A and B are shown apart, each in its own frame.
Chain A
Amino acid sequence: AQSVTQLGSHVSVSEGALVLLRCNYSSSVPPYLFWYVQYPNQGLQLLLKYTTGATLVKGINGFEAEFKKSETSFHLTKPSAHMSDAAEYFCAVSEGLAGNTPLVFGKGTRLSVIA
């Protein structure tokens, strides 16, 4: 069964600093990987996804993530944090196409941005 581990339940960075949110997954088949963002009392919004092909994927709001099969990782990065990036971020994995296999989510990482 697949699983997701997000290292660090809370990450704090200064405005303009690099953002790095860590995600490791476990999957018995080539995974599909996702990062979602959630602002307080709202639903989740897709930031980016990896399905096949290029292992470095770019998403919205300047975020990107790299799929590293050898490390079973899919870390999320952004070169320069902005105050508006403060939110909770969830990594998720699917072993098949969505609708065929539900996503499994990590427990989330809350990102704080300090002015």
Chain B
Amino acid sequence: DGGITQSPKYLFRKEGQNVTLSCEQNLNHDAMYWYRQDPGQGLRLIYYSQIVNDFQKGDIAEGYSVSREKKESFPLTVTSAQKNPTAFYLCASSLQGALAYEQYFGPGTRLTVT
């Protein structure tokens, strides 16, 4: 089955620690995205990548970092510089080119930092 996997489902960290959220897709999609979801805020774009070894900042990139070394993988690191890291994080992917319409989403990772 093709899809997007995010692990773990729930993640707990102490304040001041960096944490990396995993996102893997086997859809052969070119573009991948990270969103943050907070209650009543909708989805806000953190970073996106249209091709391997290249990525762009979204609206709320401060305190986050990403890498795109493989087409299938787009891990997100939440650094200690992120002031309010507790949130639900969603990874998505899409095709490029003439058939590139909707984004496909993973199941999400709920991060709690105390």
- Chain A contacts to B: CB under 8 angstroms: 9, 32, 34, 36, 41-46, 49, 51, 90, 97-100, 102-103, 105-108
Residue from B30, B35, B45, B105 in contact with A45 in the complex, judged by beta carbons closer than 8 Å: B105
Beta-carbon contacts under 8 Å, B56-97 to A: 58, 88, 90, 92, 94-97
Residue pair A46, B102 in contact (C-beta under 8 Å):
yes
Among residues of A, the one whose C-beta sits closest to the C-beta of B42 is A107
Count residues on chain B whose CB falls below 8 Å from chain A CBs.
33
8 additional contacts, CB 8 Å, given A45-B105, A98-B31, A98-B94? A97-B100, A97-B101, A99-B31, A99-B96, A99-B100, A100-B100, A105-B43, A107-B41
Q: What's the Cα separation between A13 and B41 when bound, in Å?
A: 23
Among A44, A45, A106, the one with the most B-chain Cβ atoms within 10 Å of its Cβ is: A44
Q: Which residues of A contact B101 (CB under 8 A)?
A: 32, 49, 51, 97-98
The answer to whether B102 and A98 touch across the interface, beta carbons within 8 angstroms, is yes
CA distance A56 to B106 in the complex (A): 28
Give every chain B residue within 8 A of A99 (Cβ-Cβ).
29-31, 50, 94-97, 100
Assembled-state Cα–Cα distance A46/B102 (Å): 8
Q: When the two chains form their complex, are residues A42 and B108 in contact, meaning their CB atoms are under 8 A apart?
A: yes
With both beta carbons as reference points, the residue of chain A lying nearest to B3 in the complex is identified as: A43
Q: Are B30 and A107 in contact (CB under 8 A)?
A: no
A51 to B43, CA, bound (A): 21
Smallest CB separation, B76 vs chain A (Å): 15
Q: Given A41-B110, A43-B108, A102–B33 Cβ distance below 8 Å? A: yes
